[in-house]
Structure 1
Amino acid sequence: MPAVTVENPLTLPKVGVPAEGVARPRPVLAVTTAPSGFEGEGFPVRRAFSGINYQHLDPFIMMDQMGEVEYAAGEPKGTPWHPHRGFETVTYLIDGTFIHQDSNGGGGTIQNGDTQWMTAGSGLLHIEAPPESLVMSGGLFHGLQLWVNLPASDKMMAPRYQDIRGGQVQLLASPDGGALLRVIAGELDGHQGPGVTHTPITMIHATIRPGAEVALPWREDFNGLAYVLAGRGSVGTERRPVHKGQTAVFGEGGSLIVRADERQDSNTPDMEVVLLGGRPIREPMAHYGPFVMNSQAELKQAVEDFQSGRLGTVPAAHA
């Protein structure tokens, strides 16, 4: 882990050091530990945002770390057909292969550093599954699925897909080369990631070498979250300890600070962190299973539309 990397980060464009006295470091408000569970047909997940007040998450709704798991032959699992309405799903596959399909004919295959960005909008049916070859052979599976809310004005827009290949992400380095930064969506210090978002956000996967520190300029109108995929370290000027499966919630300010411990876990050479920021929507949110709307009446309508087939039908080949 991870699939997208470079031998020498010093060859990459560098992120500038936040201006001292101007970009105030964000304090750490909380560190939470993700509970483990199972999703879909039974693949293991960690619920990254469990226990975090929504005022600190907005516009993000939930995030699952899928795996990391080494499947034996016959074990890889996915999800059955299911509906979505009112938000965007972001599936970032660090290792392995997943096939996406929907009732509108969209989808594709993502693997090893690819991201599939699905705007559910007015609604569709959707399935995610490993390819038959991976089911037969087994193999490593590891990724993230993030849900990003849509404002009321966009909730009923037409669905769309973005396939972001691993080679398209913007690769950056910290000034000393101690951190490799993959900008998947949004902007960091003037460098733009490939993901096009309706709700302004930034999504970064950072690999931080043992003992290294990264201080990133961060938009003051965004919130700030750091989820540890692997390894251990600390966050903020407080040096609050964090480790695999934990989320740090940052307060207000103009920069984020993350450090990797000198000694990492035996199964990972570096600290792996996903950094998220977004401009809060600050609208009422009504959430029921795969539907995220603004009111209970809209949720009821979404359920009725699904049950009556107005969100689409499963293609004949899969029915």
Structure 2
Amino acid sequence: MPAVTVENPLVLPRIETPDPTTARPRKVRQVATAPEGYEGEGFPVRRAFAGIHTRHLDPFIMMDQMGEVEYAPGEPKGTPWHPHRGFETVTYLLDGTFVHQDSHGGGGTITDGDTQWMTAGSGLLHIEAPPESLVMSGGLFHGLQLWVNLPASDKMITPKYQDIRGGSVKLLGSEDGGALVRLIAGEVGGHQGPGITHTPITMIHVSVNPGAQITLPWRSDFNALAYGLAGSGSAGAERRPFRMGQAVLFGDGDSLTIRADEAQDSRSANFEVVLLGGEPIREPVAWYGPFVMNSHHELQQAMEDFQAGRLGTIPTS
């Protein structure tokens, strides 16, 4: 898992552990196991938040863990051309390479530790696929795709991209140096990540050493979710067990805690966890396939616009 890292996390800026007498710890409300399935042309995914009620996810719509899978030569797969409107897709790649292209001429290539933030807004056609070289050679593929809702006032904004290279991610350490924090977007402990978001959110990838624990300050007006990418450990001061492929929903409070088990599996030296929080939009959500709007009428309009070619056309080259 070659996400951006450092040899010695003790040289990094530290996040102070919140004072437990003034910061209310968030308790675990639910642990849910992600069901497995296939997406696009057949690459395996885990539906990270499928077991959690949508009212607790706002402003997030869904998240897929893509892989982890070791492809043989000729096997790597992507998604065909498809439309999007009304939300943002966040693709965080841990292993492998993905090429993005859209009908407006946008896109780019992301690889180990990179993030691509696509604001679909008013709509576009989009494709995600491994490069031809990776298809020919095969190799390891592992990543995440998160869907972040847009408020009604932003649903029809002009589409755009942010490429967040692994080297621009804000690297931080826990107070005792037992955990490495990659701040991709938002704020934690007075530190700011590079991602620019329409909806206020925080997105973090944390690596917790075996037996170590990290407690982070967390905005009380945000929800709080965790997802295990690799390894095993526990969540909350009550140490509720969770592992790779499981999601955690936290309750209210001002801080959250993740702890790694003393022994990790052979696939991962540390407990790898994605932490997400956002300010709920609290608007009606109408979701059908690749469209996330506020009403059935808006969904119908999105489909009509797609069928009429108003979301763009597939480039000829």
TM-score bracket for the superposition, by shorter chain length: over 0.9
Give 3-state SS (helix, strand or coil) of 1:58's partner: coil
Runs of 4+ off more than 3 Å: none
Give how far 1:3 is off: 2.7
Tell me, yes or no, if structure 1 residue 228 matches structure 2 residue 228: yes
Give how far 1:66 is off: 0.3
Return the letter of the residue paired with 1:246.
Q
Identity rate, percent: 76
Return the letter of the residue paired with 2:124.
L
Give how far 1:268 is off: 1.0
Instruction: Give the structure 2 partner of residue 39 of structure 1.
Output: 39
Give how far 1:38 is off: 0.5
Q: Write out per-residue CA displacement over residues 277-318 of structure 1, whole angstroms, 9 at most, x where no aligned residue.
A: 00000000000000000000000000000000000000012x
Return the letter of the residue paired with 2:292.
V
Tell me, yes or no, if structure 1 residue 216 matches structure 2 residue 227: no
Instruction: Give the structure 1 partner of residue 284 of structure 2.
Output: 284
RMSD: 0.6
Give how far 1:2 is off: 3.1
Instruction: Give the structure 2 partner of residue 187 of structure 1.
Output: 187
Return the letter of the residue paired with 1:195.
G
Give how far 1:55 is off: 1.6
Q: Write out per-residue CA displacement over residues 97-125 of structure 1, whole angstroms, 9 at most, x where no aligned residue.
A: 00000000000000000000000000000
TM-score when normalising by structure 2: 0.99
Give 3-state SS (helix, strand or coil) of 2:90's partner: strand
Return the letter of the residue paired with 1:25.
P
Instruction: Give the structure 1 partner of residue 48 of structure 2.
Output: 48
Tell me, yes or no, if structure 1 residue 75 matches structure 2 residue 75: yes
Give how far 1:17 is off: 1.1
Give how far 1:20 is off: 2.2
Partners of 1:219 and 1:71 lie apart in 2 by: 40
Instruction: Give the structure 1 partner of residue 94 of structure 2.
Output: 94
Q: How many residues align?
A: 317
Give how far 1:180 is off: 0.3
Instruction: Give the structure 1 partner of residue 261 of structure 2.
Output: 261
Moved more, 49-58 or 191-200: 49-58
Alignment of 1:1-319 (within 5 A): 1-317=1-317
Partners of 1:53 and 1:18 lie apart in 2 by: 29
Return the letter of the residue paired with 2:208.
I
Give 3-state SS (helix, strand or coil) of 2:21's partner: coil
Return the letter of the residue paired with 2:52.
I
Give how far 1:22 is off: 1.3
Give how far 1:54 is off: 1.2
Partners of 1:292 and 1:302 lie apart in 2 by: 9
Partners of 1:4 and 1:36 lie apart in 2 by: 27
Give 3-state SS (helix, strand or coil) of 1:311's partner: coil
Partners of 1:172 and 1:35 lie apart in 2 by: 32
Give 3-state SS (helix, strand or coil) of 1:80's partner: strand
Gaps of 5+ in 2: none
Give 3-state SS (helix, strand or coil) of 2:171's partner: strand
Gaps of 5+ in 1: none
Give how far 1:128 is off: 0.3
Return the letter of the residue paired with 2:215.
A
Partners of 1:114 and 1:286 lie apart in 2 by: 30
